[in-house]
Structure 1
């Protein structure tokens, strides 16, 4: 995989994201859901940050470091009323 470009989380508002999930199968998607739930707990309990690696519409990898404030069925809610679609997230570190 190409090394992701590290950006500020505020920059995600300028991105467009793929309409389809970037993960290839249901098992990877379930693993991502579990990792996001763990990251949400880390953020709420310990104010800990995680690194989210995601793809934009052009399938270019980017990375942000952030605290996850909330999760919806479709999105990751970040500080500053920012939303990142779950379907764009490749990895949570």
Structure 2
């Protein structure tokens, strides 16, 4: 796994496929994203997001989550990661 700066996300291309295979994993990811968004909006706290790019390479970025939609996670600095590319939020 490679750790990157959030600014590097501008250069990423993501798969359109879901990276998690189990519905319980997807539910957990959604709950973790909601908690991380509350942390970002109330305390400006950062989280580590582990995700896959379109070639299935594993990356991690530490950033603040500002908003979560049905398909997209909005990060500080007007950056985005598709929800389906995220494996884990710490």
- TM interval, shorter chain, is over 0.9
- What's the CA shift for 1:13? 1.4
Aligned to 2:5: 8
What stretches of structure 1 of length at least 5 have no aligned partner?
none
**Runs of 4+ residues deviating >2 angstroms:** none
**TM-score normalised by L of structure 2:** 0.96
**TM-score normalised by L of structure 1:** 0.93
Give me the CA root mean square deviation. Answer: 0.7
- What's the CA shift for 1:45? 1.1
Cα distance per residue 1:11-38 (max 9 Å; x no partner)? 1111111111100111110100000000
Matches within 5 A, 1:34-45: 34-45=31-42
Check if 1:33 corresponds to 2:30: yes
In the comparison of the two structures, how many residue pairs are matched? 90
SS in 2 for 1:24: coil
Counterpart-to-counterpart distance in 2, 1:81 and 1:67: 11
Check if 1:56 corresponds to 2:50: no
Counterpart-to-counterpart distance in 1, 2:76 and 2:29: 20
